[in-house]
Chains A and B, each alone.
Chain A
Amino acid sequence: MIINHPLLGPRDAQEFTYLGDAALIDRPDGMAFPDATAAQDAFHDYLYLRDNPAGEHRELWFHEQGDRSWLVVTRNTVTHEITKVEFARDVARSRGRSK
């Protein structure tokens, strides 16, 4: 597979390591829950449960052998076709992180 890096252009997927579903960006805020049980439930779901779709999947890839950036790659899990590549940083900021 070739990942079209937003800065570096097309790169072999072998240069990257794979983390998984891009939903991992949205780590729960443990202080934002009314009680510890609710926080534990949220962290359980965050850490262990996955949508695991057959089809379009947004996922985190780390350019370990390159510029060490984290990317959000939109890829089809049935055909392996990659349709979109973004910086994870931009995705997180667009959701209001680090403001």
Chain B
Amino acid sequence: MRYSGFRVIAEALTGHKGWKPAWRDPEPQSSYDYIIIGGGGHGLATAYYLAKEFKQARIAVLEKGYLGGGNVGRNTTIIRSNYLLDGNEPFYEFSLKLWEGLEQDFNYNAMVSQRGIINLYHTDAQRDAYTRRGNAMILHGADAELLNRDQVRAMYPFLNFDNARFPIKGALMQRRGGTVRHDAVAWGYARGADQRGVDLIQNCEVTGIRTEAGRATGVDTTRGFIGAKKVGVAVAGNSSKVMSHVNMRLPIESHVLQAFVSEGLKPLIDGVMTYGAGHFYVSQSDKGGLVFGGDIDGYNSYAQRGNMPVVEDVAEGGMSLIPMIGRARLLRSWGGIMDMSMDGSPIIDKTDIDGLYFNGGWCYGGFKATPASGWCFAHLLATDQPHPTATAYRFDRFRKGLMIDEKGQGAQPNLH
């Protein structure tokens, strides 16, 4: 069934009796050509592009819970491609281009809204760094603009421009950045993959990965053994747990990141904004809630909830940037588990085991990467070659000293 405006009207006139479930709920077959472990954004996108762009058949996605129940349902929905380094910027720009055509591509309303993102700067040094970053973005085909103080004031007059310690001097803006309805991304990819014959198998936790003579042969699951020629792992947050089935240690720690939403307010912030002096970022959802967040809690965690000190820290950041935010009540807060890698950048690579491929280490930037991550992982699975925009995301970059460290923090995952 194709979705369209006509279809909505036709269904409205006939009592909405014609809608069908968006995807099947199949029993697992005994074997597949490709198994993707992880039915989140990245896993579903991988299956979708594997079926659609690389014309591969007999694909299954295994999900331990329900589709889109992990980080794709827990993030702050921001898309952007404002990176500095060569290994990153082409990949994220590829991702942003895919976002721009995504809804037509998979025939699903994901509410892609290119409302613009600004990164505020507060010092001359920060302005110079953002100038450099903007130039790097433009050289890679992305868009970037440096705004001065008056231009920012025209957009958001209520910001704390004259803070004695961190006055706002301007911002780096990417107009093509914005937000997306995050759950709809998972649902759209799931529906698109299902329509192309991919089996989406939920409530199916992988409990082991079988290998024979250095080659992956399938996975043990809570619903029995399922054979596979190639197995792709896309379970960011739980990467170390899944890869421990093959005794593989990763350059990754799992950390908890909290996010927050306020009560619904009248339209106030029409774009996305990041504070350059503390770690605070905010946008406003279509329901009116301010969606915001800050730093990770900073210690290893698999609990999908954080502690009060970071709540306080984020609230302080918000008060410092937007003093009137103190009048809004906090509606909800939640936590998600991040694969924090050793250089703050992801991994899309083969492993030492033939037929076993890995996608993870997304830190807290995985959502914006979803389309390109899926495309590049599908490319790797189908062709055994990395996609041209993802050649740097290798396991061996740490051994070779080719880290992609945007923040320059070194091998300290809780600082990225």
Question: Which 8 A-B residue pairings sit nearest by Cβ, starting from the closest?
Answer: A52-B240, A49-B249, A54-B302, A48-B251, A48-B398, A18-B299, A78-B302, A48-B342
Instruction: Report Cα–Cα, A62/B307, bound state, in Å.
Output: 19
Instruction: Report Cα–Cα, A77/B109, bound state, in Å.
Output: 37
Would A52 and B398 be within 8 Å (CB), given that A59-B300, A77-B303, A80-B307 are in contact?
A: no
Instruction: For the complex, count residues of B whose C-beta is within 8 A of A.
Output: 25
Show the binding face of B for A, using Cβ within 8 Å: 238, 240-241, 244, 249-254, 298-303, 307, 309, 342, 398-399, 411-414
Cβ of A14 within 8 Å of any chain B Cβ, yes or no, is yes
Can you report 13 A-B residue pairs in the complex whose CB atoms are below 8 A from each other? Answer: A13-B299, A14-B309, A18-B299, A21-B300, A47-B398, A47-B411, A50-B250, A50-B252, A52-B253, A54-B238, A54-B302, A77-B303, A78-B302
- A20-B413, A21-B253 known, 12 other contacts, Cβ within 8 Å: A18-B414, A48-B342, A48-B411, A49-B249, A50-B251, A52-B240, A52-B249, A54-B254, A54-B302, A59-B299, A77-B300, A80-B303
Cβ of A8 within 8 Å of any chain B Cβ, yes or no, is no
Instruction: Report Cα–Cα, A19/B415, bound state, in Å.
Output: 10
Q: B251, B299, B303, B309: which has the most chain A beta carbons within 10 Å?
A: B299
Contacts of A79 in B (CB 8 A): 303
Task: Name B253's contact: one of A14, A20, A75 (CB within 8 Å).
Answer: A20
In the complex, what's the smallest C-beta–C-beta distance from A96 to chain B, in angstroms?
24
Instruction: Report Cα–Cα, A59/B300, bound state, in Å.
Output: 9
User: Are A77 and B249 in contact, with the CB atoms below 8 A?
Assistant: no
In the complex, what's the smallest C-beta–C-beta distance from A81 to chain B, in angstroms?
10
Instruction: Report Cα–Cα, A40/B400, bound state, in Å.
Output: 10
Main secondary structure of the interface of B (DSSP, over half): mixed
* Closest A residue, CB atoms, query B396: A44
Q: A20, A44, A49, A52: which has the most chain B beta carbons within 10 Å?
A: A52
In the complex, what's the smallest C-beta–C-beta distance from B234 to chain A, in angstroms?
17
User: Are A20 and B414 in contact, with the CB atoms below 8 A?
Assistant: yes
Would A54 and B241 be within 8 Å (CB), given that A49-B250, A78-B302, A79-B303 are in contact?
A: yes
Contacts of A53 in B (CB 8 A): 240
Contacts of B299 in A (CB 8 A): 13, 18, 59, 75
Instruction: For the complex, count residues of A whose C-beta is within 8 A of B.
Output: 25
Task: Name A44's contact: one of B300, B307, B399 (CB within 8 Å).
Answer: B399
Would A52 and B303 be within 8 Å (CB), given that A20-B413, A20-B414 are in contact?
A: no
* Closest B residue, CB atoms, query A54: B302
Show the binding face of A for B, using Cβ within 8 Å: 1, 13-14, 18-21, 40, 44-45, 47-54, 57, 59, 75, 77-80
User: Are A52 and B250 in contact, with the CB atoms below 8 A?
Assistant: yes
Contacts of A52 in B (CB 8 A): 240, 249-250, 252-254, 300
Instruction: Report Cα–Cα, A78/B238, bound state, in Å.
Output: 12
In the complex, what's the smallest C-beta–C-beta distance from A11 to chain B, in angstroms?
13
Would A77 and B254 be within 8 Å (CB), given that A20-B413, A48-B342, A50-B240 are in contact?
A: yes
Would A50 and B253 be within 8 Å (CB), given that A18-B298, A77-B301, A80-B303 are in contact?
A: yes
Instruction: Report Cα–Cα, A54/B304, bound state, in Å.
Output: 12
Instruction: Report Cα–Cα, A12/B309, bound state, in Å.
Output: 10
Would A57 and B249 be within 8 Å (CB), given that A20-B413, A47-B411 are in contact?
A: no
* Closest B residue, CB atoms, query A79: B303
Contacts of B413 in A (CB 8 A): 20
Contacts of A19 in B (CB 8 A): 412
Instruction: Report Cα–Cα, A35/B412, bound state, in Å.
Output: 27
Would A1 and B250 be within 8 Å (CB), given that A77-B302, A78-B302 are in contact?
A: no
Instruction: Report Cα–Cα, A45/B395, bound state, in Å.
Output: 12
Instruction: Report Cα–Cα, A38/B300, bound state, in Å.
Output: 29
User: Are A20 and B300 in contact, with the CB atoms below 8 A?
Assistant: yes
In the complex, what's the smallest C-beta–C-beta distance from B247 to chain A, in angstroms?
11
In the complex, what's the smallest C-beta–C-beta distance from A37 to chain B, in angstroms?
11
Instruction: Report Cα–Cα, A68/B303, bound state, in Å.
Output: 28
* Closest B residue, CB atoms, query A51: B249
Instruction: Report Cα–Cα, A75/B411, bound state, in Å.
Output: 22
